[in-house]
């Protein structure tokens, strides 16, 4: 199958591969899989607990080229966004950016799932420090 | 027309494959282009279409796992129409386990595989392959039977169980395939190659 240049680029030079240490503060982790093909993906965000901005993101994907490219792109997009802004990233954005063909749409869905799972995990872990929207509560 | 209807079968998972094959040959013969030479183009076209439908239905229904997969899709279509949310849940501990195995495999590959490492990977692969088979047996056996015997009230629970077993099988299949590939023994036929 012909991959777009952007997929090939992300596949050959994946950005932000890796994971954060267990003790790193502000981390949310999403681990998801695609039952269609059995591929698995881990995506992590590291949020600045004072500003609520995602400062760093990492991923590890054991899957097809499109899944690797989708998660690599997702980590690039996540950096610099607030948790709320990050929640608006849609798999269709990824499909458009990478020009994924219909059979590879589930790979982008996997990346969206991973983002959501990472955000949910972050909110969960730091629930006591956050207001409803996921931003840090200003300490008076 | 769905695959079951093509064969005039009820929407059940217990199918006599020998019987299915007989019907398939019979219908194929009737639909064969040779029989429709000289017929009006519309009739030829519809025979061709029916024969494509028949082939697709046979391919799916003769395989007990593909059969469950298909039934789940059919039922999901129905569930979505009826407003139930489609879940794509996998047991989280399974995902974590698969991820760990993949990570370990990547490390082992990066470090170069010595005889000891290969033995470990092969043992792991065999262990996971056994679980893969187990899921298939469960799907084709007890789960299929339970579905056929269950009443409408039990359907959602059984559908969920089937989906979980299918997902588990998919994840196991993928790591087995990746381990096998890393060991350099491509064993066609275990699991389908789905990576592009
Ligand atoms: S083929 Fe499954 S994630 Fe791409």
- Amino acid B190: pLDDT: 46
Q: Which residue of A has its CA nearest to B171?
A: A38
Picking from A35, A117, A120 by the largest number of B CB atoms within 10 A of its own CB, the best residue to mutate is: A35
Contacts of B118 (CB under 8 A, 6+ apart): B183
Distance from CA of B195 to the nearest CA of A (A): 6
Q: Which residues of chain A have pLDDT under 50?
A: 140
Tokens of A15: 């950005």
Do B97 and B57 have their domain in common?
Answer: no
- Amino acid B2: pLDDT: 94
Q: Give long-range contacts, CB 8 A cutoff, 24+ apart: B89-96.
A: B89/B163, B89/B164, B89/B167, B90/A33, B90/A35, B90/B164, B90/B167, B90/B168, B90/B171, B91/B164, B91/B168, B92/A31, B94/B168, B94/B171, B95/A31, B95/A32, B95/A33, B95/A40, B95/B171, B96/A31
Write the pLDDT tens digit of every residue in B37-69: 888 888 888 888 999 999 999 999 999 999 999
Q: Which atom of ligand 1 approaches the CA of B196 most closely?
A: 1
- Amino acid A1: pLDDT: 58
Q: Which domain holds residue B13?
A: 3-62
- Amino acid B79: pLDDT: 61
Nearest CA, atom 3, ligand 1? A107
Rounded Cα–Cα distance for residues B94 and B103 (Å): 14
Evaluate if residue B165 carries a pLDDT over 60: yes
Do B99 and B175 have their domain in common?
Answer: yes
Q: Which helix (H) or strand (E) element contains residue A58?
A: strand A54-62
| Distance from the alpha carbon of residue B194 to the mean position of ligand 1, in angstroms | 8
Q: With pLDDT > 90 as the criterion, what percentage of chain B qualifies?
A: 58
- Amino acid A116: pLDDT: 96
Is residue B83 situated within a structural domain?
no
Do B45 and B99 have their domain in common?
Answer: no
**CATH architecture, range A5-125:** Alpha-Beta Complex (3.90)
Other beta carbons within 10 angstroms of residue A33's beta carbon come to 29
Rounded Cα–Cα distance for residues A2 and A55 (Å): 34
- Amino acid A4: pLDDT: 86
Residue A66, ligand 1, Cβ within 6 A: yes
Residue A121, ligand 1, Cβ within 6 A: no
- Of A107, A108, A114, best ligand 1 pocket probe by most atoms within 8 Å of the beta carbon: A107
Is A37 assigned a catalytic role?
A: yes
Write the pLDDT tens digit of every residue in A85-124: 999 999 999 999 999 999 899 899 999 999 999 999 999 9
Is residue B82 situated within a structural domain?
no
Q: What is the pTM of this model?
A: 0.81
Nearest CA, atom 2, ligand 1? A37
What's the order of all strands across the beta sheet hosting A39-47?
Answer: A27-34, A39-47, A54-62
Collect all residues of chain A within an 8 Å Cβ-Cβ radius of residue B104. Answer: none
Evaluate if residue B130 carries a pLDDT over 50: yes
Do B178 and B96 have their domain in common?
Answer: yes
Rounded Cα–Cα distance for residues B86 and B160 (Å): 10
Do B97 and B175 have their domain in common?
Answer: yes
Do B97 and B168 have their domain in common?
Answer: yes
Helix (H, G, I), strand (E, B) or coil at B194: coil
- Are A66 and A107 in contact by the 8 Å Cβ rule? The answer is yes
Is residue B160 situated within a structural domain?
yes
- Amino acid A139: pLDDT: 54
Do B105 and B174 have their domain in common?
Answer: yes
Do B97 and B173 have their domain in common?
Answer: yes
- Choose among A1, A33, A64: nearest Cβ to B171: A33
More confident residue, B87 or A122: A122
Evaluate if residue B131 carries a pLDDT over 90: yes
Rounded Cα–Cα distance for residues A139 and A118 (Å): 25
| Residue B83 binned pLDDT confidence (cut-offs 50, 70, 90) | very low
In total, how many domains does chain B have?
2
Asked if the C-beta of B93 comes within 8 angstroms of chain A's C-beta atoms, the answer is: no
- Mean pLDDT, residues B156-178: 92
- Amino acid A38: pLDDT: 86
Is residue B175 situated within a structural domain?
yes
Q: Which of B28, B12, B10 is nearest to B64 (CA)?
A: B12
Do B41 and B98 have their domain in common?
Answer: no
Is residue B78 situated within a structural domain?
no
Tokens of B25: 């040959």
Is residue B80 situated within a structural domain?
no
- Residue ranges of chain A whose CB lies within 8 Å of a chain B CB: 1, 31-33, 35-40, 42, 60, 62-65
More confident residue, B24 or B186: B24
Rounded Cα–Cα distance for residues A131 and A112 (Å): 23
Per annotation, catalytic residue among A37, A49, A103, A137: A37
Q: What is the residue extent of each domain of chain A? A: 5-125
Q: Which residue of B has its CA nearest to A104?
A: B196
């Amino acid at each position: 199958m012909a991959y777009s240049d952007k997929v090939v680029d992300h596949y050959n030079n994946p950005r932000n591969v890796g994971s954060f240490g267990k003790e790193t503060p502000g981390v949310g982790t999403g681990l998801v899989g695609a039952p269609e093909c059995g591929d698995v993906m881990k995506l992590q965000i590291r949020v600045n607990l004072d500003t609520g901005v995602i400062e760093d993101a990492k991923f590890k994907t054991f899957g097809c080229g499109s899944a690797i490219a989708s998660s690599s792109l997702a980590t690039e997009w996540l950096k610099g966004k607030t948790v709320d802004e990050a929640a608006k990233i849609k798999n269709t954005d990824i499909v458009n950016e990478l020009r994924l063909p219909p059979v590879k749409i589930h790979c982008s869905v996997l990346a969206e799932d991973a983002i959501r799972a990472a955000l949910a995990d972050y909110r969960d872990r730091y629930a006591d420090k956050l207001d409803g929207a996921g931003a840090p509560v200003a300490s008076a | 027309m769905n695959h079951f209807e093509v064969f005039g079968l009820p929407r059940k998972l217990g199918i006599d494959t020998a019987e299915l094959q007989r019907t398939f040959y019979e219908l194929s013969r009737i639909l064969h282009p040779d029989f429709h030479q000289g017929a009006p183009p519309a009739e030829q076209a519809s025979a061709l279409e029916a024969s494509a439908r028949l082939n697709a239905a046979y391919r799916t229904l003769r395989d007990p796992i593909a059969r469950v997969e298909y039934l789940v899709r059919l039922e999901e279509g129905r569930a979505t129409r009826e407003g139930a949310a489609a879940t794509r849940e996998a047991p989280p501990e399974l995902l974590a386990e698969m991820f760990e195995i993949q990570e370990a495999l990547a490390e082992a590959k990066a470090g170069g595989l010595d005889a000891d490492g290969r033995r470990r990977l092969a043992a792991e692969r065999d262990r996971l392959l056994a679980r893969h088979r187990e899921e298939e047996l469960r799907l084709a056996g007890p789960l299929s039977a339970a579905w056929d015997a269950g009443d409408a009230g039990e359907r959602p629970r059984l559908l969920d169980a089937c989906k979980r077993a299918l997902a588990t099988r998919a994840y196991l299949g993928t790591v087995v395939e990746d381990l096998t590939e890393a060991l350099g023994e491509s064993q066609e036929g275990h699991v389908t190659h789905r990576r592009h």
